[in-house]
Structure 1
Amino acid sequence: MAHPLPGLHATYAADVGALCADLLRIDTTNAGDDAGPGEREAAEYVAGALEEAGISATLTEPKHRRTSVLARIPGKSTILPPLLIHGHLDTVPADPHEWSRHPLSGDLHQGQLWGRGAVDMKGTVAMTLSLVRAWAKSGQRPCRDLVLAFLADEESTGEHGARHVVAKHRDLLADVKEAVSESGGFSVTVRPKGAAADARVYPIAVGERGTAWMRLTASGTGGHGSGPGGDNAVADLVHALSRLAGHTWPVTLTPAVHTLLTALDEVLGIRIDRDRLQDEARRLGQLGELFDCTIRNTTNPTVLNAGCKVNVIPSHARAEVDGRFLPGTEDAFLDTVDRLLGPKVTREFINCEAAVAADHDGPAFAAMTEALRSQDPHARPVPFIQSGGTDAKSFAEIGISTYGFAPVLLDRHQHYYGMFHGVDERVPVAGLAFGVRVLHRFLTTY
């Protein structure tokens, strides 16, 4: 299926599987409370892999064992601005009892590497390492300078990773305007209506919804549980949460989502009903996931704390809510949240980051599209907005636009988003090798 590329052969970057397996066996669990092992061991491994290829690497560690790796690779052009490639080394927790294979095993089974981080995102880190090591052996160079950042703490707030790099290593990022990172470029296999052959949709992320993690507090009059009640903090908070969770946020189609829906119409040979997008998203399965959470804002209560004893009315009740908002809607979003909460509940931010966007009509997106098609003649690249958030938000604060472009060819029935933070996360080694070839094409032509 793959088209040959100049300078590539069957064994090009053949170490991608070994690199990925090694990384999967290093515990970098980040539960968000600094109690985990940190990223130090993985960072040292990455730095060693780079230095074996003659690439000087710098470790930066704002807190004990919360370590990131920074490097720079000279490109052929002295005129083009540098491109940032960033990825994270930490992973979310995994319960071994729920998995078919241990989440730290790095097992190779039926062509797939198993382990927490296989898709999110140690597989992508391995692709980048494999590619630049292959370049070092062959004497090839990227089109422009590349800044590499393998980061800590993405699975929390990024305080010990991307935010630290932006604050303390701005010199390395000088003149960088664009970046590539996770959560895009993966394949979704579909059979268009009336077609004799499959097509593969490759969504490339061109933005993210904004993040508003909020802590809510209700205050009332404490007392005995047998009393008449009335000024009850728990009741006030629960009523507010019910209004918030039950609110139907209006559908808002951003330009990128408009383009996505039009592209999917063309691929599928149908017209997606814009008046019933939530129903259409469910009907379309994995393709529907590309727009299901990015056509409206959301507010999901996730934590609830109040009281200490059944016969004691507490004077305070607290909750936490994960809020996400579309580009350009932040003020209206917060106004609506405050109206729904009412006067008896106050809110404060745990974390608030603006929505980000990149140009889906520009040369970078076009080059990614061409790189995918160079390796897969059935590729149908499309733009999409990510429902969650990544380190892209930190880099956007200093004017760097990030594309989600971590190309991987997946088995037809493999559910990419189902593996993100899910059980039995795994990635095909052949899919990683495909990703190396696509990245080679992109980075040596753009």
Structure 2
Amino acid sequence: MTDLALLETEAVAFIRDLIRIDSVNTGVAETIGDGETRAARYVQERLEDAGYATAFIETRPGRGNVVARLKGSDRDAGALVLHAHLDVVPVVEDDWTHPPFAAEIHDGFLYGRGAVDMKNFAGVLLAVARALRREGVVPRRDLVFAFFADEEAGGVWGARWLVRNRPDLFARATEALSEVGGFSVPIGDDRRGYLVATSEKGVAWATLTARGRAGHGSRPTLDNAVVRLTDAVSAIGRHSFPVVRTPAVQRFFDIVGRERGLAFGDADLDADLEQLGFVSSLIGASLRNTATPTVLEAGGKTNIIPAEATARLDLRVLPGQDEALREELERIAGDDVEIAWGRWWSATEAPIDVPLLDDLQHAVDIEDPGGIVVPYLLPASTDNKHLASLGIRGYGFVPLRVPDGFDVFGEFHAADERVPVDALRFSARATWRILRAQ
């Protein structure tokens, strides 16, 4: 008989301990300490204490990763990767009501950097992995537990490095489960939907460069690089790309539309989305490609017209839309600027009608009768994009039952990041049930 009370207790304790390890990832190597390695060692010690053989990989000083495998009974079955990242984004402590690395509990909420992104799932996976060994569970297929560094800066020293240099750690893996999804959202009549990300937007960067004739500021010229650049940036910033109904988006509309009595037709799409409350911004961002100007650089002295001006763009790309976005962006920017394409990670798209999603629904049926697992397209990006290069189909599902007005996605990277403690207990139980079904 599974000791669910012990499972819940360990999960919450592990999450709090991990939050107390400052593993901030600034994205700048010189300013990153050893927090990811200390967090990985913490995980490794508790996995080995439960009887796991672990692989600890420090891809560079301070950037620790750890992977362990629970072998299944069917050697022909594809393995399932369960992964979480151990790094967190920076904090401005003055913006926090409670210390960001103290893991304090107030009024039923656990506060701390990583409470939802994503030391919560790291702690849950660690507790569930230990429970599986404690109970002597032999799953049908291998379960690979992976704890990565550097997700917040693109996974260069975490998932991407391991996929390129240690693909053996993911041998025979066909599916993966991680962020961002699993949290409950209200869908009407006191019923909750549990979002599962079956697809993720791609992430790309581009740089616009305008050139002109340098000169003195007192003698304006029509050949001004700054003006050319700002014309292009303004056009891009105002542009709305066309709606694309991907399979994940359409399935979301089908399920939620049925529950809420909404058609989500082209004519009333914006109005119907507004009916979803805080969920509307999440789904709205999944409907279109986006190009967001983020950095402008030009000149260095007020009285000098610079010869060159640049702008950097953050691009989020729907599945199958890489070329379409490039062509449209070139058209909008016009002939007066050059576009240089930077890093480009294409979108991921996993099948919707698969047994794994049935397992997610079964766990929800037990823990929240009437809850519905709802596919959607994540407008952001996770380490699943790196695993996809090995043919591993990624899903985002970290189960959390939260109050209807609590916006879990809104807690990502926020000051006073927090999560209900009851939701963490729910997460441990639901994750246990999902992995017991494998």
- Tell me the CA shift for residue 51 of structure 1: 1.3
| Structure 1 residues not aligned, in runs of 5+ | 1-5, 193-197
Q: Quick one: distance in 2 between partners of 1:232 and 1:59?
A: 54
Instruction: Return the offset for 1:190.
Output: 4.2
| Residue 290 (structure 1) shift | 4.2
User: Which residue of the partner structure matches residue 218 of structure 1?
Assistant: 210
1:108-160 C-alpha deviation (Å, 9 max, x unpaired): 11222111111010000000001111222222233321112111111112111
Return the alpha-carbon distance in structure 2 between the equivalents of residues 269 and 327 of structure 1.
28
Name the residue aligned to 1:168: 165
Rounded to whole Å, the distance in 1 between the matches of 2:323 and 2:391 is 21
Match of 1:137 among 134, 140, 143: 134
Residue deviations 1:314-361 (CA, integer Å, cap 9, x gap): 111111111112111111110011111122222223321111111111
Q: Which residue of 2 aligns with 1:125?
A: 122
CA contact (8 A) 1:24 1:106 kept: yes
Q: Which residue of 2 aligns with 1:336?
A: 328
The offset of 1:189, in angstroms, is 2.9
CA contact (8 A) 2:116 2:411 kept: yes
State whether structure 2 residue 279 is matched by structure 1 residue 291.
no
For 1:37 and 1:279, how far apart are their aligned partners in 2?
Answer: 47
Correspondence for 2:430 among 433, 438, 442:
438
1:148-187 matched pairs, under 5 angstroms: 148-187=145-184
Maintained 8 Å contact 1:359/1:365: no
Partner residue, 1:189? 186
Q: Specify whether residues 14 and 77 from structure 1 end up closer, same or farther in structure 2 by C-alpha distance, changes over 3 A only.
A: farther
Q: CA deviation at 1:36?
A: 2.1
1:249 to 226, 241, 244: 241
2:51 aligns with: 54
Q: What do the CA deviations read for 1:151-189 (whole angstroms, capped 9, x no partner)?
A: 111111211111100111111112111110111111113
Distance 1:71 1:331, change over 3 A: same
Please tell me whether the aligned partners of residues 263 and 272 of structure 2 are also in contact (alpha carbons under 8 angstroms): no
Matched AA of 1:30 = N
Does the 8 Å contact 1:86/1:150 carry over to 2?
yes
Alignment partner, residue 92 of structure 1: 89
Asked if 1:37 is matched to 2:29, the reply is: no
How far did 1:8 drift?
4.4
Pair 1:234-2:230 in alignment: no
Aligned pair 1:316/2:308, yes or no? yes
3-state SS of paired residue (2:268): helix
Structure-2 separation of matches of 1:306 and 1:416: 38
Q: What's the secondary structure of 2:146's corresponding residue?
A: strand
2:365 is matched with which residue? 373
Q: 1:26 aligns with which of 21, 25, 33?
A: 21
Structure 1 ranges of 4+ moved more than 4 A = none
1:50 is matched by which residue type in structure 2? L
In structure 2, the residue matched to 1:268 is 260
Q: Please say if residues 187 and 256 of structure 2, whose CA atoms lie closer than 8 Å, have aligned partners that are also in contact.
A: no
> Once the two structures are superposed, what CA deviation does each residue of 1:265-307 show, in whole Å capped at 9, x if it has no partner?
1222343344232333233213323421111111111111111
Q: Distance in 1 between matches of 2:316 and 2:268?
A: 21
Contact 1:305 1:318 in 2 (8 A): yes
Deviation sequence 1:22-74 (CA, Å, 0-9, x none):
11111111122222225111111111121111112222122221121111111
| Equivalent residue number for residue 10 of structure 2 | 15
Deviates more, 1:394-403 or 1:78-87: 78-87
Question: Counterpart amino acid of 1:351?
Answer: R
Out of 100, 107, 110, the position equivalent to 2:107 is: 110
Query: Distance in 2 between the 1:437 and 1:43 partners?
Result: 23
TM-score by length of 2: 0.96
Q: How far apart, CA to CA, are the structure 1 residues paired with 2:320 and 2:187?
A: 32
Question: In the aligned structure 2, how far is the partner of 1:143 from the partner of 1:127?
Answer: 21
Letter in 2 for 1:304: L
Q: Distance in 2 between matches of 1:141 and 1:286?
A: 41
Deviation at 1:363, TM superposition (A): 1.3
- Counterpart contact for 2:195–2:375, Cα < 8 Å: yes
Change (3 A) 1:92 1:350: farther
Matched letter for residue 80 of structure 1: A
Q: 1:190 to 1:325 in 2, by over 3 A?
A: same
Q: Secondary structure at the match of 2:44?
A: helix
Give TM-score, length-normalised by structure 1. 0.94
**Structure 1 residue 306 and structure 2 residue 303: aligned?**
no
Distance 1:395 1:231 in 2: 47
Corresponding residue to 1:71 among 59, 68, 73: 68
Distance 1:9 1:154 in 2: 30
1:404 aligns with 2:396: yes
Q: Name the % identity.
A: 39
Instruction: Tell me the matched-pair count.
Output: 436
CA distance in 2, matches of 1:16, 1:269: 38
User: Matches of 2:152 and 2:342 in 1, distance apart?
Assistant: 15
Match of 1:423 in 2: 415
Moved more, 15-24 or 47-56: 47-56
1:208 correspondence with 2:205: no
Of residues 181-190 and 327-336 in structure 1, the stretch that sits farther from structure 2 once superposed is: 181-190
Does the 8 Å contact 2:87/2:152 carry over to 1? Answer: yes
| Closer/same/farther in 2, CA of residues 131 and 138 from structure 1, 3 Å limit | same
2-structure distance, mates of 1:437, 1:320? 44
Q: For the residues of structure 2 that align with 1:143 and 1:189, how far apart are their CA atoms?
A: 34
More off after superposition, 200-209 vs 129-138: 129-138
Matched position secondary structure for 2:28 = coil
CA distance in 1, matches of 2:315, 2:7: 44
